[in-house]
Amino acid sequence: MNVLRKNFLGFVLALASAIVMVGANSAMAASAGDLDRNAKQALDTLYKAHPVAETLSQSAKGILVFPNIVKAGLVFGGSYGEGVLLKGSEVADYYNSITGSWGLQAGAQSYAYAVFLMTDEAVSYLEKTKGWEIGVGPTVVLVDEGLAKNLSTSSLKNDAYAFIFSQQGLMAGLSIEGTKISRINR
């Protein structure tokens, strides 16, 4: 019975790794020009769905945009995507987002996310660290439908606001996960 359990766990780990690697390879294939264009299109999509995001962009010191994150998991999971840091309308740098997770989870999905960095300190932290772990460093608030309706430039008090959008696929479960954002060379 113990051998069967180990074999099943090995199979699940191998399957989740294979799914994530296939998704990661397609996400990594974009050139700098493609990534720039995809990030700006993703922001346009976000602004249409959440006009408050466009309002935030006018005060943001930087916007970190990941136009395509691919996530998959079966007990063990992960996600990967590449994005850009925009300062004004110009691309300042390139980053990747890597997440690992463990728990009761199954499925695959893709999504986009944007983090509006509202202070010079938040931008500086991102640029100076060798990898920003979400939950460590500047305070990031995940903007959901309820918060988006009540958010205004006069109520901004946090370092960063994140929007998740353009979700496709199905991922279900309860898991523990961590995300790390790191600078990459393009």
Residue 175 above 80 pLDDT? no
* Tens-place pLDDT, residues 12-29: 444 455 455 545 444 455
* Tens-place pLDDT, residues 121-148: 989 988 888 777 655 555 566 675 544 4
Residue with tokens 């370092």: 159
Average pLDDT over residues 103-128: 90
Q: How confident is the model at residue 79 (pLDDT cuts 50, 70, 90)?
A: very high
Average pLDDT over residues 177-183: 85
Nearest to 125 by CA among 97, 160, 151: 160
Query: Residues 178, 136: contact at Cβ < 8 Å?
Result: no
Query: Residues 72, 78: contact at Cβ < 8 Å?
Result: yes
Token pair, residue 109, equals 């999905």
Nearest to 55 by CA among 165, 164, 161, 166: 161
As for how many domains the chain has, the answer is 1
What is the torsional sign of CA 186, 34, 58, 149? negative
Nearest to 147 by CA among 56, 23, 24: 56
* Tens-place pLDDT, residues 35-60: 999 999 999 999 999 898 999 999 99
pTM of the complete model: 0.76
Q: What is the pLDDT of residue 26?
A: 47
Token pair, residue 99, equals 């997440």
Residue 104 above 70 pLDDT? yes
Parallel/antiparallel/unpaired status of strands 132-133 and 160-184? antiparallel
Domain boundaries, position 11: 2-184
